[in-house]
Structure 1
Amino acid sequence: MSDLVVVVYPDEQKAEEIRQRLFELQKEYLIRIGDAVIAVKNDKGQVKLNQLMNTTAVGAASGGLWGLLIGAIFLMPLVGAAIGAASGAVGGALTDFGINDKFMKELGEKLQPGNAALFVLVQGVTGDKVLEELRGTGGEVLKTSLDHSKEQALREALAAHPITPEAAAATAAPTS
């Protein structure tokens, strides 16, 4: 089962920094991410989605390859590639993986201009370790599908002061 977490940051740069940190945690097998999208509201009130994968481009590339192969069989590789790329692009544009785009744009309308919302679809997580890594990064939880206790733990971790190396050493030092 996946959980959705939406956190608002003051700008797109901070949201991207956190998204990249989550990808690093994924490489360490501490979190499994199904999708991670940044929604930004510009000064004109338009919401832009910064997605990981452009489904139109992926569809066009895949369709072009298959069209080229099928076209080669019928001795018309260029025509096959062109038809395959066009149909793949249309199919890719109509495909929506992960978090629903319409939902993200509707929620993005609630943002203040310049703010960014990080949408993360979490498929698995080692909660305590990930929360420690996100401790003090700021951000305000806008929406989650987490239960109340996990949501509260996330809010507290984001708002808490980060642990500095000096503070960690002081708490780890044995007292005599």
Structure 2
Amino acid sequence: MSDLVFIAFPTEQKAEEVRDRILALQKEYLIELADAVIAVKDDKGRVKLNQMVNMTAAGALSGAIWGTLVGMIFLAPLVGTALGAASGAIGGSFTDIGIDDTFMKEAAQALSPGNAGLFLLIRKMTTDKVLADLEGVGGTVMRTSFDQAQEQKLRDALAGHAAAAAQQAADGASADPGL
């Protein structure tokens, strides 16, 4: 069973940075993602999705290859390429893998204008190592399918120990009579 996580960030750049970090963790086999999408809400309230895989482009490429092959059979490879690319692009635009686009756009309406959200569809994860790597990156958990305890661990990790470290430093400074 997959888990859904939606985290809000103040900028698209910060959301991209965290997504890149998570994708690096995937290369280390610490997390397995089905999808990772960034949603950005502009000043007019419109939501733009930044998908990991552009299905329209992938469909156009696949269609162009198959169209060329079919076109060669009928001695019209250029016509076959053009028709294949067009039909592949149309088919790709209707294809939706991972998280439902309509759901993401509706959920991203909760973002403030100019903010971005990171949607993750997680198949498997080594929770303690992933949360340790994400510690202190910031962000606000908007929605998850985790249980309460796991969601709280995620919130704590995103907030990091910055506040705790600052408190310890303040306690240490006030306890040190040499200062």
TM-score (norm 2): 0.88
Cα distance in 1 for partners of 2:134, 2:54 equals 28
Q: Which residue of 1 aligns with 2:140?
A: 140
Unaligned stretches of 5+ residues in structure 1: 168-176
Unaligned stretches of 5+ residues in structure 2: 169-179
Work out the number of aligned pairs and report it.
165
Deviation readout 1:100-143 (Å, 9 max, x if unpaired):
11011101111101111000111110000000001111111001
Letter in 1 for 2:123: Q
Cα distance in 2 for partners of 1:157, 1:61 equals 41
Q: CA RMSD in A?
A: 1.5
With 74-83 and 94-103 compared, the bigger mean Cα shift is at 74-83
Letter in 2 for 1:145: S
Counterpart of 2:81 in 1: which secondary structure?
helix
Counterpart of 1:111 in 2: which secondary structure?
coil
1:161 is displaced (CA, Å) by: 2.1
Cα distance in 2 for partners of 1:42, 1:94 equals 24
Counterpart of 1:98 in 2: which secondary structure?
coil
Q: Is 1:40 the equivalent of 2:40?
A: yes
Counterpart of 2:99 in 1: which secondary structure?
coil
TM-score (norm 1): 0.90
Q: Which residue of 2 aligns with 1:24?
A: 24
Q: Is 1:83 the equivalent of 2:83?
A: yes
Point out the structure with max Rg over C-alpha. Answer: 2
Instruction: Among all aligned residue pairs of Structure 1 and Structure 2, give the percentage whose two residues are the same amino acid.
Output: 62
Cα distance in 2 for partners of 1:26, 1:138 equals 20
Cα distance in 2 for partners of 1:106, 1:85 equals 31
Cα distance in 2 for partners of 1:83, 1:13 equals 37
Cα distance in 2 for partners of 1:56, 1:24 equals 25
Cα distance in 2 for partners of 1:5, 1:15 equals 13
1:37 is displaced (CA, Å) by: 0.5
Q: Which residue of 1 aligns with 2:60?
A: 60
Cα distance in 2 for partners of 1:85, 1:137 equals 41
1:55 is displaced (CA, Å) by: 0.7
1:160 is displaced (CA, Å) by: 2.1
